[in-house]
């Protein structure tokens, strides 16, 4: 499979985001700024112990908190979306700030509400109008004003956490992304080309929330819906987990190798219910000749990963939820080159490993504790998507029945 070319790494301008701070952070920056911000993000994630234990331990705490909230529903029908959003958001808080929040904390509630407003606006009708007519939209009321205010709130949250970190002086023993970033700022203090500064730090944290919360949230929403609609697959996962690990003890991300069917189910969920409408737009940095076509410098480039994830030439039943897509004839897990939910090329998702750990830990924790069932009188949950920049299911309710008293 042809990889995304190096010439297609820049982001195009977006008037809505440009007024918030053009080319800052990771998601929307280019060139030297992008390379430095991406570098510190990757290094920090690695040092915080993805694949080891530190961030994974925080994810396990968030997963167990979610299990307890589900348990409080006592098997009655409920909408899991807000509880899942809080849990996923708290993982980003742990990564960025080093601690999680109680759902009832006012600042945390404001943060999740602001994220919801921002997600609902991005990629929608008013975002498109703003892109076409920014000079006019700046003078008109509408959802874009609420979206801009929500971005300001998230950035304010990031800057408040930054100030707390500056007061605590933990640079000799960094505990989270802010610590690592401040340490990098100190190391680069005399470098005139350094882009490590507080504005970029705040935007990086915003990017973690914007990119890391919405996608994992949508993935887990789809996962719970699919498991509820497919009790046979759900039971096979639960049996595999119980056969290998029994009823107690922790399951780490490394344990996925002992759970081939569970791993296949998680991959298949991400394939069949890919959560992005399209890849995040890019633009060509120079004139490019590609497969006989001339692509001028500055051209908008959009990757259609859905065409690969649902390609009938690559998948036996592309439109169906079929975990066998990731299993060989002996039932062993099989990596697939066509599995590309985290993007392609040099701008592949910075938080891919974090998301993989998060989804695995959340789902194995929930499936160990509960069987997910349809509410009485409901024959099937609606699998039709709600299309925006991200693809969500319609609101639904399920019953979380404790598997063991």
Q: Which residues are annotated as a binding site for heme?
A: 349
> How far lies 28's CA from each of 56, 129, 236, 297, 343, in Å?
28, 19, 42, 18, 15
List, as one string, the DSSP characters of 310-361. T-TTT-SSTTS--GGGGB-TTS-B---TT--TT--STTS-TTHHHHHHHHHH
| Spatial separation of the C-alpha atoms in residues 29 and 196, rounded to whole Å | 13
Pairing of strands 300-301, 293-295: unpaired
| Spatial separation of the C-alpha atoms in residues 245 and 251, rounded to whole Å | 8
Contact predicate 88/213, CB 8 Å: yes
Q: Which are the contacts of 58, defined by CB distance < 8 A and separation ≥ 6?
A: 91, 94, 95, 100
Contact predicate 21/198, CB 8 Å: no
124 by DSSP, 3-state: which?
Answer: coil
> How far lies 217's CA from each of 31, 92, 112, 235, 354, in Å?
30, 12, 12, 23, 13
Which runs of consecutive H residues, i.e. helices, occur in 169-259?
Answer: 177-187, 198-229, 231-245
Convert 163-201 to b/e letters by CB count within 10 Å (16 or more is b). eebeeeebbeebbbbbbbbbbbbeebeeeeeebbeeebb
User: Which residues sit in the known binding site?
Assistant: 349
Contact predicate 395/81, CB 8 Å: yes
Contact predicate 233/267, CB 8 Å: no
User: Which class for 259: exposed (0-12), middle (13-18), buried (19 or more C-beta within 10 A)?
Assistant: buried
| Spatial separation of the C-alpha atoms in residues 322 and 43, rounded to whole Å | 36
């Amino acid at each position: 499979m042809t990889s995304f070319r190096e010439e297609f790494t820049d982001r195009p301008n977006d008037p809505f985001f440009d007024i918030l701070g053009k080319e800052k952070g990771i998601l929307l920056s280019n060139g030297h700024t992008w390379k430095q911000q991406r570098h510190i993000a990757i290094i920090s994630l690695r040092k915080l112990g993805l694949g080891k234990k530190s961030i994974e331990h925080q994810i396990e705490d968030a997963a167990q908190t979610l299990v307890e909230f589900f348990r409080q529903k006592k098997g009655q029908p409920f909408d899991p979306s807000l509880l899942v959003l809080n849990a996923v958001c708290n993982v980003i808080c742990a990564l960025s700030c080093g601690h999680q929040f109680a759902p009832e904390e006012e600042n945390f509630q404001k943060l999740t509400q602001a994220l919801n407003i921002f997600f609902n606006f991005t990629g929608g009708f008013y975002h498109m109008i703003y892109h076409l007519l920014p000079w006019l939209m700046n003078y008109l009321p509408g959802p874009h004003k609420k979206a801009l205010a929500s971005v300001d709130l998230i950035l304010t949250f990031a800057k408040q956490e930054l100030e707390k970190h500056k007061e605590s002086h933990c640079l000799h023993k960094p505990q989270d992304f802010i610590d690592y970033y401040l340490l990098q700022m100190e190391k680069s203090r005399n470098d005139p080309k350094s882009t490590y500064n507080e504005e970029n730090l705040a935007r990086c944290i915003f990017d973690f929330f914007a990119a890391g919360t919405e996608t994992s949230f949508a993935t887990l929403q789809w996962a719970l819906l699919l498991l509820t609609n497919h009790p046979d697959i759900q039971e096979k996962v639960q049996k595999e987990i119980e056969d290998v690990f029994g009823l107690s003890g922790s399951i780490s991300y490394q344990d996925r190798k002992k759970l081939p069917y569970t791993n296949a189910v998680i991959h298949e969920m991400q394939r069949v219910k890919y959560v992005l409408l399209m890849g995040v737009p890019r633009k060509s940095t120079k004139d490019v000749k590609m497969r006989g076509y001339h692509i001028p410098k500055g051209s908008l480039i959009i990757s259609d990963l859905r065409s690969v994830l649902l390609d009938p030439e690559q998948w036996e039943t592309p439109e169906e939820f079929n975990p066998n897509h990731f299993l060989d004839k002996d039932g062993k897990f099989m990596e697939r080159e066509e599995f590309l939910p985290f993007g392609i090329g040099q701008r592949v998702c910075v938080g891919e490993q974090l998301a993989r750990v998060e989804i695995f830990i959340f789902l194995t924790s929930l499936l160990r504790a509960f069987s997910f069932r349809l509410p009485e009188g409901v024959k099937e949950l609606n699998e039709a998507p709600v299309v925006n920049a991200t693809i969500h299911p319609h609101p639904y309710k399920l019953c979380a029945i404790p598997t063991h008293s």
